[in-house]
Amino acid sequence: MLAVRPQIAHDVLSALRFRRDHRLISLIATLSLKDIESLTAPAGHVTKALPMPMIAHRLGATIICPPDQGAGALFGRLGKVIEVADAGEFDALSVATATYASYFKYLETIHSWLTRHGVGEGIARDYIASLFKALGAAPETSPDADFRHLAQDYATRGGINEQVLRELTAHNMFEAFAESLDGIHRRITGDTK
Ligand SMILES: NC(=O)c1ccc[n+]([C@@H]2O[C@H](COP(=O)([O-])OP(=O)(O)OC[C@H]3O[C@@H](n4cnc5c(N)ncnc54)[C@H](OP(=O)(O)O)[C@@H]3O)[C@@H](O)[C@H]2O)c1
């Protein structure tokens, strides 16, 4: 299991001796399968995995590339496993993991607003946590609805959800968010164009 930070990976891995029969799982962010394979030759069997901190509570999903029975079984005991054969698909999925802090900033914005308007800290926290837990379950409880349709379902025409969505869209918030995802993708894939 290779789990050093990318900045020191070249130095650490070059100093190690690998055998052909080693089966390696690399967690090292931003190092491609090709990079790892060349640093760990002649080890022929390398799998990339991206577990997330929530794995400590057996929640969330680990992405694995390419699909590998051993790695799938190992991470499958710790939460969901999503296996992809294509390295580009793995890189694109990795981009989604850059959004957690912004998600909590979104919740923190609601929390601060509530407390500024006289709601107790604890009540605001409890309310937001249960609302977003329920929203988090919506894709599973409505498996046929894609996210666009869920957004539409929750935006009653002329209602307050539609208003916030319309105003944030007019402020280009979602465009800016998508541009940030492009930037993370360039960083992950090393594409500096
Ligand atoms: N944190 C994230 O959000 C995140 C996201 C995606 C992927 N990853 C990947 O997950 C892996 C672990 O990240 P982390 O955030 O958990 O980093 P971390 O807490 O800094 O852990 C790095 C590990 O590398 C070991 N290490 C440091 N220098 C070493 C050396 N010269 N030789 C051998 N081992 C050495 C450390 O051992 P000691 O504790 O003994 O110093 C520690 O176990 C990395 O490959 C990272 O790219 C992390």
**CATH number where 108 lies:** 1.10.3730.10
Q: Is 19 helix (H, G, I), strand (E, B) or coil?
A: coil
Residue 191: pLDDT over 80: no
- Mean per-residue pLDDT, 176-183: 98
The stretch 50-54 carries a mean pLDDT of 94
Domain tally, the chain: 2
Q: Are residues 59 and 107 in the same domain?
A: no
pLDDT recorded at residue 192: 64
Asked whether residue 193 carries a pLDDT value surpassing 70, the answer given is no
Q: DSSP characters for 160-190?
A: HHHHHHHHHHHTTHHHHHHHHHHHHHHHHHT
- Asked whether residue 153 falls in the same domain as residue 174, the answer is yes
Amino acid, single-letter form, for residue 153: D
Considering the domain architecture, whether residues 124 and 181 belong to the same structural domain is answered as yes
61 and 143 co-located in one domain: no
Q: How confident is the model at residue 44 (pLDDT cuts 50, 70, 90)?
A: confident
Report pLDDT for 30: 81
1 vs 192 pLDDT, higher one: 1
pTM exceeds 0.85: yes
Residues 36 and 108 grouped into a single domain: no
Same domain, 104 and 40: no
Cβ burial 138-173 (10 Å sphere, 16+ → b, else e): eeeeeeeeeeeeeeeeebeeeeeeeeebeeeeeeee
Report the distance separating Cα 183 and Cα 191, nearest Å.
9
- CB of 4 shorter than 6 A to ligand 1: yes
Give the model's pLDDT for residue 188.
87
pLDDT value for 15: 95
Flag whether 93 is in a domain. Answer: no
pLDDT bracket for residue 190 (50, 70, 90): confident
Within this chain, do residues 81 and 102 fall inside the same structural domain, yes or no? no
Point out the least confidently predicted range of 9-13, 68-72, 137-141, 173-177.
137-141
Residue located nearest, by CA, to atom 5 of ligand 1: 29
Q: Is 79 a member of any domain?
A: yes
The residues near 128 (Cβ < 8 Å, ≥ 6 apart) are 107, 110, 111, 114
Question: Which residues constitute the domain of residue 72?
Answer: 6-85
Q: Are residues 71 and 138 in the same domain?
A: no
Enclosing H/E stretch for 46: strand 45-50
64 with 135, same domain: the answer is no
Q: Does 173 share its domain with 137?
A: yes
Tens of pLDDT, residues 94-130: 999 999 999 999 999 999 999 999 999 999 999 999 9
* Domain end position, chosen among 85, 110, 144: 85
Residue 91 lies in a domain: no
- Identify the domain boundary among 54, 85, 116: 85
Q: Is residue 92 part of a domain?
A: no
Whether residue 5 has its Cβ less than 6 Å from ligand 1: yes
Give me the pLDDT at residue 174, please: 97
Site to probe by mutation for ligand 1, drawn from 1, 2, 4, 32 as the one with most ligand atoms within 8 Å of Cβ, is 4
Stretch 1-27: mean pLDDT, rounded? 95
Q: Is residue 165 in a domain?
A: yes
54 lines ligand 1 (CB under 6 A): no
The predicted model gives 11-36 an average pLDDT of: 93
